[in-house]
A and B are shown apart, each in its own frame.
Chain A
Amino acid sequence: MYLLNMIRNRRTKKPKVAIVSLTSCEGCQFVMLDQGQRFLDWLKKTNLEEFRLVEDEPMTAKHYDICFIEGNPVTRDNIKLLKHLRKTSDLLVVVGNCAALGGVWEVKNYQSKQKTIKQVYKKLKVENPDIKEVNNFVKVDFTIPTCPIDGDEFMRIANNLIDGLDPKIPQNPVCYECQTSGYECLLLKGEICLGPITLAGCKAVCLKSKQACWGCRGLFDNAKVFNFMTHLLNNFPREQVYRVMEVFGAKDTIMAELAREQKIKIPIKK
């Protein structure tokens, strides 16, 4: 990790940090703020140039060491800002489900966009693009997933980044954390749960509340999507399976991985 080395070597100076949101609920920024004292302690290790949640001054810095981006580029202005931040930041870290997977708003991609907007605006013309993840617009160096981000995981990764350590997320399924915590398996109980293919690190917080996993953290490396989808579609109506996958923008990623696996597994017959 060349960039991390660069930050490590610069430790005499505090790294310049920006925390910026595109279109979102800003919940991930609230999770940061909600960490209270330990977030303020982390801020002390940085030179915080931008934190859009708590200040309104125009952006002036010409360079950032690390930029955290929350939300989705829905407007042209969002895209412009995102590209500007990529140019001016050494390390670009996306934060939360909207930036990483498209967020709840991506449901729109599976509807007739014109009908969706008609429900909200009768006359007004507002931008209504297909929702795309941040990495469709710029190169992303690191992703902190979940809707919203997990406070402990954010603090660990944020500290690692400042200290110049490689902030790896262990590649396990949510089931691993669910079962080691002793929560009830909702898949066995008969609910559609995406835990077996979804990246752990959320402490299976939804399962703790008996809410099935809807995949908001995205796939872990080497998740066996084909096997799992076969199981789901054998046991539940396709429409319901798709609905669950759509809510947190996971469906497109899952389908892409499924297509990739199928190409490997099933030779195309001529």
Chain B
Amino acid sequence: MEGHADFVAEILRGDVKSAKLITTEGARLIEGILIGRHFSEAPIITSRICGICPVVHKLSSIKAIENAFGLKPSLQVVKLRKIMNLSQLIHSHALHLFFLSLPDFFAIENDLNFIKKYKKETEYAIRVRQWALKIIETIGGRAVHPIACEVGGFKVLPAKNELVNLLNNYESVLKDALGLVNLVLKIKLPKFSRPTTFVSLTNKDEYAYYSGDIKVTRPDGSVKHIKDSDYTKNIKEIEEPYRAAKSATLNGEPFMVGAIARINNNHTQLNHLAKGILKSLKWQFPQLNSFENITAQAIEIVHALEEINSLIKDLSSDYNEKEKSLSAGLGVIADSNPLSKETIGIDAIEAPRGTLYHYYKIDKNGYITDCNIITPTVCYLKNIEEDVKAYIPDLSQLSAKKRTIKIRGLIRAYDPCIACATH
């Protein structure tokens, strides 16, 4: 997984007394570091929270600061950002599915041995990832820690032909992705079910990934919508003595975020092919087996590919590669808050692993005076612990080694990012 963690459970005569995911990453104190820094540094610094999802941290901090300043970026800018965020979902999911999670279910211990055994599928995964990485590089200037995005838009935009050329091998990449999906669907995932609360963004116009309200589906099936800027009132972070990563609860309860939560909440808005694959699975909603997060990720890869294809086609009809960013002409590291007073900006966005929240208070001179970032892994840490607690009794007949493999498989199906969690 991304980052380092251990799992410890206390079992007393078959009863699970406690289950703890212990993170061993050092604390980098990003939210603390940002205090007193100029707003233009925030997207640059926060993207360094995570090497696999830097795009979404950058975008979330940019969107939050735009909200603080009352800036509305153009539709073209929003579309380009959506393409970047979807590309990140593709390469992150493909990495997790193929290189980090699948080996657990094919009883291959070392992921590198897995690569040797599944040569053809490795090529699929690599090609799908390379395609997505190329898109981020073309629009953002670099695949890991993109550069061109800033508050108000892009410092530089890709030329129209660069953008259109990204679709040249779309059909073959889609085929590769479907090959990957086939492999994922072949896995016999362990049976497991535990009712929980599913949380994701939702948006009436699309399968929410860039913006929307927070949709909460409770175990009893009731649904509640929360305004994204009200997240601080509903989602609370907790400090626990056994790990530097915090965890979060929604009104005091553990909750699930990520691909499975998004599919549970918004599956009717999936694109054509993705929806077809999901339909063929005959799922009952909500899907309560956390292992199926893997399947949900595979479906989202197909959805994201279809979405990028239509977004780029859409953009190319009246693309303006000369469009200036709203902060063009203003100097970085120097500008004051355009509203000339202290303002607050909040953003919620879907990262590959679930909803990500950024909050900033910016003084009249443009310096950050308060900051809070809640990452998806922080959101579902408690849910992992509850799942494992519920899962351990199912495993009582297995040897200790087999039990470890099963529990590791469940934790890894979440795709936890400990680097993000311990920011």
Indicate if B54 sits at the interface (CB-CB under 8 A): yes
Indicate if A48 sits at the interface (CB-CB under 8 A): yes
CB–CB A34/B129 < 8 A: yes
| Alpha-carbon gap, A41 to B305, bound state (A) | 28
Closest 10 CB pairs of A and B: A27-B51, A74-B26, A209-B141, A116-B32, A23-B26, A119-B32, A209-B147, A209-B148, A124-B239, A75-B26
Indicate if B144 sits at the interface (CB-CB under 8 A): yes
| Alpha-carbon gap, A190 to B144, bound state (A) | 28
CB–CB B48/A55 < 8 A: no
Indicate if B68 sits at the interface (CB-CB under 8 A): no
Q: List 5 A-B contacts (CB under 8 A).
A: A26-B50, A43-B112, A52-B4, A115-B35, A191-B331
| Alpha-carbon gap, A231 to B110, bound state (A) | 54
Name the distance in Å between A125's Cβ and chain B's nearest Cβ: 9
Indicate if A126 sits at the interface (CB-CB under 8 A): yes
Name the distance in Å between B11's Cβ and chain A's nearest Cβ: 21
| Alpha-carbon gap, A105 to B13, bound state (A) | 45
| Alpha-carbon gap, A111 to B49, bound state (A) | 19
CB–CB A108/B29 < 8 A: yes
| Alpha-carbon gap, A161 to B99, bound state (A) | 26
Name the distance in Å between A174's Cβ and chain B's nearest Cβ: 14
**What residues of chain A lie closer than 8 Å to B38, measured between beta carbons?**
243
Name the distance in Å between B329's Cβ and chain A's nearest Cβ: 11
| Alpha-carbon gap, A22 to B38, bound state (A) | 28
CB–CB B27/A120 < 8 A: yes
| Alpha-carbon gap, A212 to B126, bound state (A) | 32
Indicate if B309 sits at the interface (CB-CB under 8 A): no
**What residues of chain A lie closer than 8 Å to B48, measured between beta carbons?**
25, 27, 103-104, 147
CB–CB B27/A111 < 8 A: no
**What residues of chain A lie closer than 8 Å to B244, measured between beta carbons?**
124, 126
Q: With A56-B1, A57-B109, A240-B334 given, is the CB distance from A27 to B144 under 8 Å?
A: yes
Indicate if B14 sits at the interface (CB-CB under 8 A): no
Q: Mark B94-112, 1 if CB is under 8 A from A, else 0.
A: 0100011000000001111
Interface residues on B, range: 35 or more
Name the distance in Å between A238's Cβ and chain B's nearest Cβ: 12
CB–CB B148/A127 < 8 A: no
Indicate if B392 sits at the interface (CB-CB under 8 A): no
Task: Closest B residue to A124 by CB, please name it.
Answer: B239
Residue positions of B touching A, CB distance < 8 A: 1-4, 24-33, 35-38, 41, 44-45, 48-52, 54, 91, 95, 99-100, 109-112, 115, 122, 126, 129-130, 133, 140-145, 147-148, 155-156, 239-241, 244, 331-334, 370-371, 408, 419
**What residues of chain A lie closer than 8 Å to B91, measured between beta carbons?**
34
CB–CB A115/B141 < 8 A: no
Query: In chain A between 59 and 112, which residues have their CB closer than 8 angstroms to a CB of chain B?
Result: 72, 74-75, 77-78, 103-105, 107-108, 111
Task: Closest B residue to A27 by CB, please name it.
Answer: B51
New A-B pairs, 14, CB < 8 Å, besides A34-B143, A209-B140, A209-B141: A26-B3, A26-B51, A30-B144, A33-B99, A34-B91, A54-B111, A55-B111, A75-B24, A103-B48, A104-B45, A116-B33, A116-B35, A119-B32, A211-B155
Count, chain A residues at interface, CB 8 A: 65
| Alpha-carbon gap, A212 to B419, bound state (A) | 27
**What residues of chain A lie closer than 8 Å to B156, measured between beta carbons?**
208-210
Task: Closest B residue to A78 by CB, please name it.
Answer: B26
Name the distance in Å between A212's Cβ and chain B's nearest Cβ: 7
**What residues of chain B lie closer than 8 Å to A55, measured between beta carbons?**
110-112
CB–CB B95/A33 < 8 A: yes
**What residues of chain A lie closer than 8 Å to B370, measured between beta carbons?**
119
CB–CB A34/B36 < 8 A: no
| Alpha-carbon gap, A240 to B333, bound state (A) | 6
Indicate if A29 sits at the interface (CB-CB under 8 A): yes
Q: With A34-B133, A54-B100, A211-B155 given, is the CB distance from A117 to B145 under 8 Å?
A: no
CB–CB B155/A210 < 8 A: yes
**What residues of chain A lie closer than 8 Å to B408, measured between beta carbons?**
56
CB–CB A116/B29 < 8 A: yes
Most buried by B among A29, A30, A40, A103: A30
CB–CB A34/B33 < 8 A: no
CB–CB B144/A148 < 8 A: yes
Indicate if A263 sits at the interface (CB-CB under 8 A): no
CB–CB B419/A247 < 8 A: no
Query: Which residue of the partner chain, among A43, A124, A148, A247, contacts B44 with CB atoms under 8 Å?
Result: A247
Q: With A55-B110, A205-B147, A208-B141 given, is the CB distance from A28 to B28 under 8 Å?
A: no
CB–CB B26/A127 < 8 A: yes
| Alpha-carbon gap, A4 to B68, bound state (A) | 54
| Alpha-carbon gap, A51 to B113, bound state (A) | 12
**What residues of chain B lie closer than 8 Å to A104, measured between beta carbons?**
28, 30, 33, 45, 48
CB–CB A77/B36 < 8 A: no
Name the distance in Å between A192's Cβ and chain B's nearest Cβ: 7
CB–CB A111/B141 < 8 A: no
CB–CB B49/A118 < 8 A: no
Task: Closest B residue to A54 by CB, please name it.
Answer: B111
